[in-house]
Amino acid sequence: MEQRFQKMFDEVRPSRRLQEEVMNMTTRERKRTRRLPKKALIAAAILAVLAGTAVATVGAPGTLRGWFAQEWEESTGSAMGEKQLALIDQLTKPVGASDTQNGVSVTVDSVTVGNSALWLLLKISGEYPAQEDVGYNFRRMELTIDPDPDEVDTPGGASLSYPYSGVAEDGRLTLLVHYSMDLAGQTSLLDKARQVTLTMEDLVQKDRTKLDDDKTLKEGTWSITFPLEPGDTGTVLTLEEIQVPARNWDTQETTVITLRDVQLSATDLCFAQDAEDQAWEPEKCVLILDNGNEVNWFSGSSRFWDEGETLWGSVWQWQVPVDLSQAAALRFGDVEIPLR
């Protein structure tokens, strides 16, 4: 199965204030972008919020480890600990595969793999001017995973976002791509060996003040294939059933609903609810660690877990991968649920 994406615009790294505004988006706003046929062209709602306001950063970390460490410190106010860094190292693999077209080389430097998400660090070099006040991206991007991990024939989708685009510490143009799939209650990207093919068309730049004005730097099609090896995300926590506050975003009513088969991994939170409760969405979730640090959820998606449409399942991605041996509690809205 191919997941295709039409790029809406280029995104570069936003300010921390803007990121907090995005984090406070309702789950309904985010999930609406995901209830689509598998082969639909889709884009994450987060991109629309960031349009025209993000600014490229010069000297940002040139590795996935460095980027996650920076995100952790900015969001929690403390440095990433040794166990957390070790988890990032466990989930991150060097790739080094590249393609060169028309004097421009695109390299998949490394990839961090979660149960239903990938973080791809792209390094781009060649004959083009790198400027601080513009965003860089590709006019179109397509990602294929073989064998297809999506095994349930219910409407679902995938999303693509760009948490960072700019000139990294090593002076090279760097693009961080976050790709996520609806795999709640199914398989994992880590359960078997797979092949990823990333295809990109036309390198473009965009002045952050001109949303509809892409400037083509280099025309061409770059295609890169690399393997995903089997692995695991470390500690997995399960909860058979929990009661959480929820909201109907059409009526603004609130209630308490039951979440079943709750599973926490280093990269995401999965849960199911009765199909008749699908209009009720749990309040914002935060993972609380032993030292008091809080890890927010970054994006979410929902779909039917079964072809009989009896269960409505959701996957919420953590802002950064997290070592769950340090997890103390989940908080939905103002309700805290101990994890041990």
Residue 206: which CATH number? 2.60.40.1630
286 & 189 share domain: no
Model confidence at 170: pLDDT above 50: yes
Confidence band for 29, pLDDT divided at 50, 70 and 90:
very low
128 & 215 share domain: yes
Q: Is residue 3 part of a domain?
A: no
Question: Which residues are 335's β-sheet partners?
Answer: 332
152 & 286 share domain: no
Q: What average pLDDT score do residues 158-184 get?
A: 83
Per-residue buried b or exposed e for 156-189, using 16+ beta carbons within 10 Å of the residue's own CB: bbbbbbbbbbbbbeeebbbbbbbbbbbbbbbbbb
Q: What average pLDDT score do residues 205-223 get?
A: 78
pTM of the model: 0.79
Residue 65's H or E segment, with its range, is helix 64-76
Domain termination residue (choose one: 172, 201, 228): 228
99 & 157 share domain: yes
Can you give the pLDDT at residue 255?
A: 95
| Structure tokens that stand for 146 in this block | 């073989």
Q: Is residue 2 part of a domain?
A: no
Q: Is residue 4 part of a domain?
A: no
Model confidence at 214: pLDDT above 80: no
Q: Is residue 287 part of a domain?
A: yes
Can you give the pLDDT at residue 211?
A: 57
CA-nearest of 166, 227, 219, 231 to 198 is: 227
Can you give the pLDDT at residue 332?
A: 95
48 & 173 share domain: yes
Structural domain harbouring 221: 16-228
94 & 193 share domain: yes
Model confidence at 336: pLDDT above 50: yes
Which amino acid appears at position 202 of this protein? Answer: D
Can you give the pLDDT at residue 167?
A: 80
Model confidence at 316: pLDDT above 60: yes
171 & 296 share domain: no
Domain termination residue (choose one: 172, 202, 228): 228
The per-residue pLDDT for range 229-285, each reduced to its tens digit, is: 988 878 889 999 999 999 998 899 999 999 999 999 999 998 999 988 889 999 989
Percentage with pLDDT > 70 across the chain: 76
Q: What average pLDDT score do residues 127-152 get?
A: 79
Domain termination residue (choose one: 207, 228, 249): 228
Give the range among 43-47, 57-61, 94-98 with minimum mean pLDDT: 43-47
Model confidence at 295: pLDDT above 70: yes
Number of domains in the chain: 2
Q: Is residue 7 part of a domain?
A: no
Instruction: Give the mean pLDDT of the chain.
Output: 78
